[in-house]
Structure 1
Amino acid sequence: MCRVRQPSTQPQPSTPPFNAPAARRLRAALGMGPEHVAYGMRVSYGLPYVTPDLVVAWERGVTAPTSPELTALAGVLWCSPGELIGRPRTLREHRIARALAPEDVARAVGVDLRGYLRMEESGDWRGTDRQAASLADILDLSPPDFVVVTGREDRLADLLRSAVSTRWQAYVRPVAKIAPVEREPLERVLQELYDDYQGQMVASLSWGGNVAARASSDAGRDFLDRIVDAFWDRIEAEG
């Protein structure tokens, strides 16, 4: 029987997105059994409740390790915490993936620790542009991750939708203020997205009738729903 911890009435530490197959693969590559992992976490990291059954439960995706448990697991498996995390999305997840303490990030960014932790807990970034740039540097954030972590993705989506449906030239500067992208590739990508969207709408309407109107509406809505992903895909292709 798999023995996992019972739910507690006390608040639990946040659980980062866990890559269970990676944990299982790394353990096997080291020639370790779940009992070896559990023993290492108990003895070296002071987690007396960790059992082989709990390690197996993590690897099967039945439950996921908390942040302290993941850090300890990474230490036992001789890897970085980032190798055991699925694609991080939040500020806290990116910090954990880089194996950084909150104090380190707060100091590098130039905010007090309590204020930084509030931003982690709420998911509401309130730093200045300069502090955001420092955050991107210490966490090694890609441009898409930077936009998500600083809470700007919805605003970017709104700007991109407006750019492809009106005059894209008017949105170069507003988009550049949100997304850390060079101006020339940004202009090319916005024009490409505009041309694709307008061409799709014209092609659908050229069929004529109510069916065409519905097809045009569906095609346009789908394009706009995927606009942020399409934007980053094309920025990446620009190299």
Structure 2
Amino acid sequence: MHPPIPFNARAARTLREKLGMAPGHVAYGMSASYGMTHITPDHITAWERGVAAPTAHELNALAGALWCAPSELMDRPRTLHEHRLARGIAADDVADATGMSREAYQQMEASGVWRGDTGQSARLGDILGLEPRDLVAVTGREGELARLLTEAVSTRWQAHFKEIAKLLSMDKRDLKEPLRAMHDEYQTLMAATLMRASANTAAGEAGQSYVENIVDHFWERLGA
């Protein structure tokens, strides 16, 4: 069972009002065009007040009634299921595009555990238009990325950037500067803390803090 959709109530109300529609108009549109005969104006009002949220099917129908993409009615997607909903793509289409059985894909989406290989992961990113950060998150590879980044900044970054590029399905050339900068940043931090009083404690705390947030540091550097 999927968690509740990150529905953006304010966006839904803003879009409705911009179109000059009353809750009843939206409910009628969902019923007439999408077969959502159970939807009433009270449903629309409850969603816009944030006291309830539409299901996946209701979200798609609501988007159609408001002439917008599902992503415009959602906060930032977090899971594979949510990213697919935001794109308005059927689960079967994602399964076909990634070259796996529909049953296998649906099980992965329901469990939140991605088991596709490197090629399937890359195709998943393509069909859903995922940024590298989102692709790593939905395929459960943040832990592996953190391990590689920690090794890169604490040893020789040149020995790890190819493996990181493969993990992210990115061009190695795009990673050289961010990894070099992170390595220099970490080494400078460690050198400075080692010169202070209670060096071991200070260095350990500073290094631990950097490592704990190393994935965030990486995305910030990559974006810059």
* Both proteins in one fold, TM over 0.5: yes
2:68 is matched with 79
After alignment, is 50-59 or 64-73 more displaced? 50-59
1:228 is matched with 215
After alignment, is 182-191 or 43-52 more displaced? 43-52
Q: Which amino acid aligns with 1:190?
A: L
Paired residue secondary structure (2:153): helix
1:133 to 109, 119, 122: 122
Structure 1 gap segments, 5+ residues each: 1-11
CA distance in 1, matches of 2:117, 2:196: 50
1:106 is matched with 95
Q: Once superposed, what is the RMSD of the aligned Cα atoms? A: 1.8
Percent of counterpart pairs with the same letter?
A: 53
Q: Is the 8 A contact 1:14 1:66 kept in 2?
A: no
CA distance in 2, matches of 1:89, 1:206: 42
Q: 1:66 offset after TM fit, Å?
A: 0.9
After alignment, is 67-76 or 25-34 more displaced? 25-34
Q: 1:89 offset after TM fit, Å?
A: 2.0
Q: 1:37 offset after TM fit, Å?
A: 1.5
2:192 to 203, 209, 218: 203
Offset from partner CA, 1:38-94 (integer Å, 9 cap, x none): 222233222233222221221222221110010011011000111112111221111
CA distance in 2, matches of 1:218, 1:74: 48
Offset from partner CA, 1:94-151 (integer Å, 9 cap, x none): 1111111111111111111111101111122222222222211111111111111222
Paired residue secondary structure (2:20): coil
1:65 equivalent to 2:54? Answer yes
1:49 equivalent to 2:38? Answer yes
The number of aligned residues is 224
1:183 equivalent to 2:172? Answer yes
2:14 to 9, 12, 25: 25
Q: Which amino acid aligns with 1:82?
A: S
1:218 equivalent to 2:201? Answer no
1:155 is matched with 144
Q: Which amino acid aligns with 1:222?
A: S
After alignment, is 136-145 or 125-134 more displaced? 125-134
